[in-house]
Structure 1
Amino acid sequence: MSDPQAIEAGFRSIFENAVEGIFQTDLQGNYIRANQALAQIYGYASADELIAVQPNARASLYVDPQRRQQFIDLMAQQDVLSNFESQVYRQDGSIIWIAETCRVVRDRKNNIIYYEGFVRDISEQQSAFKQLKMAEASLQQKNRELADTLNELQNTQKELIHSEKMAALGQLVAGVAHEINTPLGAIRSSIETISLFSQRTLPNLPDILRELPPELFERFTALRQLPIQDTLQLSSRERRQYKRKMMAVLNDKDIQNSDGWADTFIDIGVLGDIDPFLLLLQSEQGEQVVELAHQLALLERSTHTIGTAIERAAKVVFALKTYARFDQSGEKVTANIIDGIETVLTLYHNKIKHGVEVVRHYDAIPAIPCYPDELTQVWTNLVHNALQAMDERGELRIRVRQQERALRVDITDSGCGIPDSVLPHIFEPFFTTKPSGEGNGLGLDIVHKIVDKHQGTIEVDSQPGKTTFSVTLPLIEDHGDHG
């Protein structure tokens, strides 16, 4: 027969050493019993100190006093209450979030004699959930702002086309819209993933982890410590190679659904030896561990995707704003001409990315006094003409360097070249070899005038397979007749 004292000692040990707060209170909220964990949650040195102060009975525990009454009302209705969340004051006045699970204890006449239950500190979970919701709201706001920007671009396209600069922008709008819609779609998809995680997985995460045996928890921790960045940088070819190797191991171990599990492990970051994790696929609870690690990896992947998408969309919007800006002050400002060239390449990215290789040779150059908005129009015309000459297939080479007291920009394309009979006339106004509707012959004339306004020069050298426009701009402003 079991020793009653030993049994009592065992239960007392469980009570005193439990990691969750355990309590019994009378109907007025006085603590009858409390363990050390509960005292620590509320900021007291011991359970005896907590019982002596009785913050609950003195209505000094709950931040919202009505929560105590709601607690009592619900207990009277259903006898058992799970995960009742509230904000409470600790002894030092700080505020934490708790979740209470409680039941009613009745006597033989069905009268309530006291309450007993458990308390968990869920402050970290609440903080994480709040930050997640704030991040989601911020991303949705950015999504709306980007969508509004795209809508504004589409609404103003007809107005912008009235000038040569805006006509070039009009040709770019479809590409710019695509460049913004792509990251918008990535952001929208990633927000849905984050939202599903916050609704389905996050609330159950503490309970799932608490119930895991030590060995499975250790394997889960090992999975979460794998660097997901390595997986994000894999090419499609590299991913297929890893997947084939992993499926061979899984099939050799008679693991069902080797195709799906291989994708899951690669998403998590398993690119090396999979043997330490095979044990997880041999039980239902182990599979749950892998799926949980996968969900967390997808959350991390979504965060990375959002960051990359926002950076890309912001770059396109910034380039567009820079291009569309028109400085009417009539005064030169100091600027780096490479910034203007990069703005144009960003706007033409949609035309470049499918068949044009851009080769940049940028020396370290000083900023110069110039009209940067007008120079952007120069680079726009030269890049646009180069892409047309190559039929958007070939090599675009851009070189920027310093030559004595001037900067030189060479823009070279691998297109068909300019015939000798045409070459002397390309800077003449209204001269064009393009079909009707594709050009008015003003582009290079405007380029020439802008370069001349900067007291610079523009030259062209052309042969089949290599045409180079060379623009030189002085380093020091000349206060002569030009301006």
Structure 2
Amino acid sequence: MFAHRPIRHKLILMLLLLLVFMTAGSLAGLTGVWSYRTTVKSIRNHAEEKPDEKTLRRWVTNLRVNIKEIETLLDLSDKWADRIPFEVKNEQKNLRQQFETGLTFFATTLASYKLQMEKRDRGNALQIGSSNEERQTVREINICLKKIEKQTAVEGWIEDKSTIENIDGDLLALQDYSAKLPYFVHNRLVNLADNVRVEYHTFFYTTLACMLLAALTIVLFIRLFITWIFRPLTTLITGSRQVATGDFDFRIQLSGNDEMSELADAMNNMTEQFQIIQKDLNQEVEQRTIQMVRSDKMASVGFLAAGVAHEINNPMQSIALCAESLEQRLEDRSIDDAEGIAAAKKYLRMIQDEAFRCKGITAQLLDLSRTGDETEEDTDLRGLIQVVVDMVVTLTKSQRKQITFEECKSVMIVANPQEIKQVILNLINNAMESVDAGGHIRLKLGICDGMAEIVVSDNGCGMTEEVRQHLFEPFFTQRRHGQGTGLGLTIAYGIIEHHGGRMEAFSEGPGTGSRFRVLLPLAGTRPESQKPNYRAA
């Protein structure tokens, strides 16, 4: 169901999922860093407590040694006062000062230990064990210390054996309590290690899970990107290229209702509309092409009109003179004898010959202007060219231009004769426009590189390289008298090309004449793929 959603919704969802997992992983990482900081701080606090604990034990040991010395000195002073070589009072004073100093240092160290313990408890984010028992021990140490301080505050306590024994008992208790402090520190470190291990595993697996989920989200994102965007784009590009090759029946198929599907439907609609427009344009182009070919053919035939009219005028004059002579003899009744009959037969024969001559000329003209069918047949190029030359030669004589078709063997091709005639006539017409009076046009037929070769050359005005490059373009004309449609050579080029041949133009420059070369496949050598789909009207 979600596959039919718009692509922007899909991308937003994927980005939100990726953002959630990345945020969770980042928070897990930050929490781990904060836990690491707290652990380091706790370890530092424990490291700071360790010297105070050792100092307390050392001072309580020193105090017990002092109290033993005080007790020993008191016993000696009671039993052997006269034998002691030193002043008892002074020694007691020194021992008292040492004891009180040690007691002061012990109290100071205990205060420092309590301060560290309170500081540790305030920052105990890891909850490293319970400190109640340790606090109780510290309170007991503090009580013993107060008792000792209270007993030592009495004047003359150093000479009271019972007081000294009480202090010694309190010091023993103080020593026992101080001996417990390392146990508490050790337990806290053990608990710290356990808690750190647990939290390490928690944060590690949490971070690993977030990373795996983020990786899976990225993989899913990539896969969905390929499914929703990359593959449809590839299909669109492939379909567009297929349509660009001319396959307008091809349609792009995409499932879903997202933007890609809308784009595919739009391209399919565009292709369908283009196909309709192309069909209409092809029909119009085909009709216009037929019209232009007909117009060009009629223009070529019209070019021959003057020569044909001149050629027909002579036999028509002879016919008129013979008819006039016969009419005169009938009026004079001079055909009754044998001589008159012979003369009448002579005039009738002349009229018949000249009529057949006119019929031949008009037949040739009709043959050139005939539309013809679209079938191809084996065609003798030599005979076909000769027919066109015979039609044009009269016009060249009247214009004092010479045309020569060199003798050659028959060359057979498969073509539409009417179309090839039109090409030859166009080339001759173009050459006649290029030469002045006294100019010469040559036609040559042969075989070159396995193809039929027709060469039409003249010694006329020639052409520049720029004109040669644009010569076969539609509506391009360089006729000196400003006449012509510019379609003759274009149509001729198309006819030759669609017969599987090619047409080339050559000229060394203005004033050097021109040469047109037509190559056509010989009969039996033309592949099926080159069969023409173009026909002149």
TM class by smaller structure: 0.3 to 0.5
TM-score in terms of structure 2 length: 0.40
Larger Rg: 2
More helix by share: 2
TM-score in terms of structure 1 length: 0.44
More strand by share: 1
